[in-house]
Amino acid sequence: MGEQMQIEEERGTVHNNAAGLAKVKNLFLLFLLVAVLATAIWLFRGSVGWPVASALEDENGAKISVYRNDFISTSEIVFDIVDVDYAESPLGMTRKLLKAADALKEHNFERVFLAHRGEKKFYLDGYYFQRLGRERSWQNPIYTIRTLPENVMRLDGSPAYGSWTGGWIGVMGRQLEDANQFHRDWWLSDEISGS
């Protein structure tokens, strides 16, 4: 009888050990799955940020972060001005935006949000952003600077700035005024006021 109880106790111990090992195995598999998913999301988010960081590595004057909208969006990204040096200019910021477009010209996005310190202010149509990147190597930069504001949209989808017609000198003057106003509205006024 004692021998049979000992055998039953050993079976119970073996059964408990097997159940414990199964729990450990399940926890390990769950941990592994979470680690793989976290790595995949990190790589996915970095697929837009890393090329831009590389393109902007020789730039000074502002810290820019590019990331996917709503954490994992496939169709929308955010170009976020995180921090700005006092000497940064609208021209320098436009150059950074164009370099980012160039770095991401092979990607198709629906929208590219323009943000300052995490707050979205405007957006560009994804096709236009891609076109900026593809044309950067040959397009006249003055033309790009002049026509950028008429492609900027408010968050509600309405145009942020007008499209001008008339004599070329008058049109060019208005477009350049809009270009300066665009930068004031996007980031410059916040920096000046210290917000």
pLDDT surpassing 70 at residue 89? yes
99-156 pLDDT tens trace: 999 999 999 999 999 999 999 999 999 999 999 999 999 999 999 999 999 999 999 9
Report yes or no: 125 and 159 within 8 Å, Cβ to Cβ. no
Packing angle, helices 90-103 and 168-183, rounded to 10: 90
Report yes or no: 80 and 117 within 8 Å, Cβ to Cβ. yes
191-195, Cβ contacts within 8 angstroms, sequence gap of 24 or more? 191/84, 191/86, 191/88
pLDDT surpassing 70 at residue 57? yes
Say how far apart CA 59 and CA 26 lie, in whole Å: 48
Q: Mean pLDDT in the chain?
A: 87
119-125 β-sheet, strand order: 62-68, 76-84, 111-116, 119-125, 152-154
Q: What is the CA radius of gyration of the chain?
A: 27
So what's the pLDDT on residue 39? 55
In the chain, domain spans: 47-193
So what's the pLDDT on residue 100? 98
22-49 pLDDT tens trace: 787 777 767 766 665 655 455 455 578 8
CB atoms within 10 A of CB 100: 25
